[in-house]
Amino acid sequence: MLHRPTCSSIACHLPGRIAIAESPKRWKFLLAEAFLIVVSILLAFAIDAWWDARQEDGRRIELLQALRADLIATVAGLNRAIDDGESLVEGSGGFLDAVRGGEEISRDSLLILFESVGDVPFFEPTLASYRTAVATGAIELVRSPPLIARLSDFDFALGLYRLHLNVAAQQYFLGPIQDLRRNGVEFDSPGAQATGQYIVLPPGFDLRDKSVLAAAEPMYTVQRNMLENLQAMRTAAASAEEELDTLLGG
């Protein structure tokens, strides 16, 4: 019976020992490979986060610049409206002082003062970027409580201004000014505008009549309130513009 020769040399045991020796190296390689994969994933996340943050910063700067441009235009409009408001309050107040005090003043001069009673300072803000940012939620990009506070102050004053504008419209179309029309006083007469006049009085109409005072007094009060609202808006808008300059580094 033939017997398989027995190998006692080192070569007979080499393959098993090589496999055992290579096993720790293979685990080290797999661990290193897994580590590189995890690092690559984390690096990709970090790059995406950095890119998103950079894009958000870009959108924020664009929004701040758009808000600043809107406020500059709005302040310019406010300055014009305030000038008109001051002129109207001066005229209406001068009319009331002249009538109440019984001052000796010509009918034409008194009429010029009374013309202020039938008008109000009109204003419409230029805040398209701000309104869009609020509507879309992009206003969160501002990240400035002081700026949001100033814009809120502006909106509050604007709301009061529009409230008083509605009151003035009621006085003009449904209140005591309408009563003067029924008595023959013409406001915004096409024929009068051609001659540079704003109001045409019927013959013998007394500008010191109680009905005229009844029309002038509430309009004067509304004009004063509107002027205060406009001034409050300008203060808030100017403060918001200063905050934007700080945020933009300028």
Domain that holds residue 145: 53-247
2 domain residue, yes or no? no
Report how far residue 213's alpha carbon sits from residue 138's, in angstroms, rounded to the nearest whole number. Answer: 50
12 domain residue, yes or no? no
Q: Is residue 198's pLDDT more than 70?
A: yes
Of 33, 209, 240, 9, give the one whose Cα is nearest residue 139. 240
184 domain residue, yes or no? yes
pLDDT-derived band at 34 (thresholds 50, 70, 90) equals confident
Neighbours of 84 (CB within 10 A): 19
Averaged pLDDT of the chain: 85
**SS3 per residue for 135-189:** HHCHHHHHCCHHHHHHHHHHHHHHHHHHHHHHHHHHHHHCCHHHHHHHCCCEECC
pLDDT-derived band at 162 (thresholds 50, 70, 90) equals very high
Taking residues 112-140, what's their average pLDDT?
Answer: 92
Lowest model confidence (mean pLDDT) among 14-23, 75-84, 124-133: 14-23
CA dihedral (240, 243, 249, 250) in degrees, to 10, reads: 60
Contacts of 158 (CB under 8 A, 6+ apart): 125, 229, 233
69 domain residue, yes or no? yes
The number of folded domains in the chain is 1
Show the tokens assigned to 173: 């179309």
15 domain residue, yes or no? no
Cα–Cα distances (Å) from 188 to 119, 140, 168, 194, in that order, read 10, 47, 16, 10
Query: What pLDDT, on a 0 to 100 scale, did the predictor assign at position 50?
Result: 62
233 domain residue, yes or no? yes
Query: What pLDDT, on a 0 to 100 scale, did the predictor assign at position 3?
Result: 52
Could you tell me how far CA 208 lies from the centroid of its own chain? 44
Of 173, 145, 112, give the one whose Cα is nearest residue 247. 145
13 domain residue, yes or no? no
Does the pTM surpass 0.85? The reply is no
Query: What pLDDT, on a 0 to 100 scale, did the predictor assign at position 245?
Result: 93
Q: pLDDT tens digits, residue range 40-68?
A: 777 766 666 665 555 656 788 999 999 99
Query: Are the beta carbons of 38 and 30 closer than 8 angstroms?
Result: no
